[in-house]
Every structure is written in structure tokens, then in C-alpha cells.
């Protein structure tokens, strides 16, 4: 199933805000289907022994996005919220599994293309570096977040952010380079 177009989701959001119950149901169906697709793609890239299933990730993201249901403005806003929700869920899951041991939290530089970190500590280290990147360049951090945590392609990210694909490519290259430097510095300290 192809992703809904930007206009379709935005139109349904507008109608839902106006109180149209059928629009709310259509929107819920589209959003839940899209979340399932994103979670399936994301979880396929996770380590094999990961205890969080795509269904659990979708259900938790759905619950968290429900808190913002009346604030979602358009498709781009939805994807930004979904990426953040999935990131938070995966990080919270890693923190709970890693709470007893904080060591080993470095991501190997050669894995940052960005493959699934081998441990919860590595995921936490990536999250910390990504938070620092967001303070410097919010859009580049969003590109990484959408690419890594929701599995969107660069073309999809460009549509979501309303920028040219080349802009996303530049942001992705810059972010990877910056994250490499951060990881290398952390490994050396």
C-alpha cells in the first residue's frame, strides 16, 4: 500500500478538527497503517534479540500520538511526531533494559551508516549525540531521526520536511559526518 498523499492527510485532519467523525476514522486507519509500515521497516533493522515487536512499537506510538491528535496540523507534522515518538519509545526501552549497566555505550563508527546498534548502550549513545546535533542543526537531526527511527527514505523525508531531496542528502551527509566525529571523540575519551 502506498503512503497517503500530503493533501489527503491534511484534508482529513482539517475535517476531523471540524468534528467529522468519518474523517476521524479514515484518518485513524491511514495513520495506523502508516505507523505499522514504519515500525515494520524500523524493527527489521533492529538487532535480532530485540524484545520490542513492531506491533508493540506501533501500539505505544499510537498511544503517544493520541495525546497530540488535536494538535496535528498536516502530514509533515504527523511524520515528525511519529519519528519523535518512535525514537522516545526505543530509547525508553533501551534505558529500561540498560539501567543496571551504563558501560559499553559507544557506537562503532563503521556501523553508523546507520545500522542497528548492537546494544542498548549504543542506542543510548546515539540518542545523546543526536540530542547534541539537534541543538546545533534541528533539521539535520530531524533527517537522522526520520531516516533512522522511522525508516523513511530521503525522498520521503524531503516531502515531509518540504525541502528539496538534495537538501536532505546534504543534511544526512553532514549529520553522519558530525555523528562520526562525536562517536570517535567519545571512543577516545
The domain limits of the chain are 6-188
pLDDT, mean over the chain: 75
R_g of the chain computed on alpha carbons: 17
pLDDT at 135: 94
What is the mean predicted confidence (pLDDT) over 110-122? Answer: 50
Q: Is the peptide bond before 114 cis (omega within 30 degrees of 0)?
A: yes
Q: Number of C-alpha atoms within 13 angstroms, CB side, residue 134? A: 13
Q: For residue 9, what pLDDT band results from cuts at 50, 70 and 90?
A: confident
Question: Cβ contacts of residue 109 below 8 Å, gap of 6+?
Answer: 180, 183, 184, 187
Q: Is the pLDDT of residue 136 over 90?
A: yes
pLDDT higher for 166 or 55?
166
Q: At what angle do helices 138-149 and 75-98 cross, to 10 degrees?
A: 70
pLDDT higher for 59 or 135?
135
pTM of full prediction above 0.75 = no
Q: For residue 137, what pLDDT band results from cuts at 50, 70 and 90?
A: very high
Q: Three-class SS of residue 85?
A: helix
Amino acid at each position: 500500500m502506498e503512503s497517503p498523499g500530503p493533501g489527503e492527510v491534511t484534508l482529513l485532519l482539517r475535517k476531523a478538527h471540524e468534528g467529522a467523525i468519518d474523517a476521524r476514522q479514515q484518518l485513524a486507519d491511514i495513520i495506523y497503517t502508516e505507523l505499522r509500515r514504519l515500525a515494520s521497516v524500523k524493527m527489521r533493522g533492529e538487532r535480532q534479540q530485540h524484545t520490542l515487536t513492531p506491533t508493540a512499537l506501533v501500539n505505544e506510538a499510537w498511544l503517544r500520538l493520541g495525546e497530540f491528535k488535536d494538535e496535528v496540523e498536516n502530514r509533515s507534522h504527523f511524520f515528525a511526531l511519529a519519528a519523535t515518538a518512535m525514537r522516545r519509545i526505543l530509547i525508553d526501552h533501551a534505558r529500561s533494559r540498560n539501567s543496571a549497566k551504563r558501560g559499553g555505550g559507544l557506537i562503532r563508527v563503521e556501523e553508523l551508516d546507520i545500522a542497528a546498534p548492537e546494544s542498548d548502550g549504543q542506542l543510548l549513545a546515539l540518542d545523546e549525540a543526536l540530542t547534541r546535533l539537534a541543538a546545533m542543526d534541528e533539521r539535520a537531526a530531524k533527517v537522522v531521526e526520520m531516516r533512522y527511527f522511522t525508516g523513511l527514505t530521503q525522498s520521503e523525508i524531503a516531502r515531509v520536511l518540504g525541502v528539496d531531496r538534495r537538501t536532505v542528502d546534504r543534511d544526512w551527509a553532514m549529520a553522519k559526518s558530525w555523528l562520526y566525529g562525536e562517536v570517535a571523540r567519545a571512543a577516545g575519551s
